[in-house]
Amino acid sequence: MVNESPDNILETIKLYTYYPIRSGNPFGKRRSVRAVDDVSIKVPRGKTLAVVGESGCGKTTLARTLLLLTPSTTGDVIFNGVNILKTKMNPKKLYREMQMVFQDPDSSLDPRVKIKDSIAEPLRLLEGMNKEKVADRVAELLTAVGLSAEHGDRLPAHLSGGQKQRVAIARAIAPQPKLVILDEPTSALDASVQAQILTLLIDLQRKFNLTYILITHNIAVAEYLSDIMAVMYAGNLVEYGPTNEIISKPRHPYTITLISSAPIPNPWKRNLLGIEIKGEVPSAINPPSGCKFHPRCPYAEKTCTDLNPSLDNISANHYVACHFVEKTA
């Protein structure tokens, strides 16, 4: 996989992130959580990739691995042409180009620090700006996310959830990154506030030519915001392709289950009541053998218990990891 297309701002190649579990017994068998288990994705510049999945699927660990917050086990991550896992680099260089908006607006801001100082932090450290420049830029950023200068003087406790999330976004775009990872940016917000934040995100993407990696379990939001989708299950990438294709015709049995479980705001189309879903998400420490979805899959056969399927290209840019994908055509 040497020729990476210049259109891809980021590419992961066979990325694995396992982390050991601290058990009380120092002599016991070493066990690991297989959080990211062989994930290879490409993120085109200027587009939005949604990484969807449920709890324990590894999407948050994937995001943290890309930002070097969690050490990877093996694999490569090529960002802007540079292999950031294998090249020795000053992390500051990376963070000038890649940033993150964290999941919970309540815990992503230091409760003792004023808003304007929270936003100023990356400006001082990553951009090395002096005081006046910082003040100007903070004012610019506050306006860009729809807040006023007065908000900058407050503490996080005096802001609403939506306002805090705007601050988190302002801080993330402060060093003018090319790639922003959004970890469940609206999951903790009300519907009307979510709509405001989503609109803001689209606005900012157009204005500043940003690339987004959106981590979410909300299919509706993923469908709305993203161009490409990657579906993860228990650490594995099971389906990957254009969003509209995956939503309208999901091919992996898990994706089918996932898409059909998403509640549609339409009382005449009650998809939820018709589905039959077996079982629950497997343990990340002791996953099922072979294909991790096989105990719950209506199409499973003997091969599925023995062999973990790799990604097959089923149509232009659309990949599915399933031994019997023809069954869902």
Quick one: 14 or 31, whose CB is closer to another protein?
A: 31
Helix (H) or strand (E) holding 66: helix 59-66
Cα separation of 143 and 88, whole Å?
Answer: 37
Assess 248 for contact with another protein (CB under 8 A): no
Assess 243 for contact with another protein (CB under 8 A): yes
In the range 281-300, which residues lie near another protein by CB under 8 A? 281
Cα separation of 74 and 56, whole Å?
Answer: 20
Assess 192 for contact with another protein (CB under 8 A): yes
Quick one: 172 or 314, whose CB is closer to another protein?
A: 172
Contact yes or no for 318/250 (Cβ under 8 A): no
Task: Please tell me the count of residues contacting another protein according to CB under 8 A.
Answer: 81
From the CB of 42, what's the least distance to another protein, in Å? 20
Assess 19 for contact with another protein (CB under 8 A): no
List strand residue ranges (DSSP E) for the chain, in order. Answer: 8-20, 32-44, 48-52, 74-79, 82-83, 98-101, 179-183, 211-216, 228-233, 236-242, 312-315, 318-320
Residues 6 or more apart whose CB falls under 8 angstroms from that of 69 comprise none
Separation in Å, CA 64 to CA 60, 100, 181? 6, 9, 9
Cα separation of 269 and 246, whole Å?
Answer: 19
Residue among 73, 80, 176, 196 that touches another protein (CB under 8 A): 196
Quick one: 122 or 235, whose CB is closer to another protein?
A: 122
Residue among 9, 51, 78, 126 that touches another protein (CB under 8 A): 126
State the binding string over 70-99 for another protein (x if CB under 8 A, else -): ---------------------xx--x---x
Assess 214 for contact with another protein (CB under 8 A): no
Q: Which stretch binds another protein (CB under 8 A): 28-36, 148-156, 285-293, 307-315?
A: 148-156
Contact yes or no for 67/146 (Cβ under 8 A): no
In the range 20-59, which residues lie near another protein by CB under 8 A? 54-55
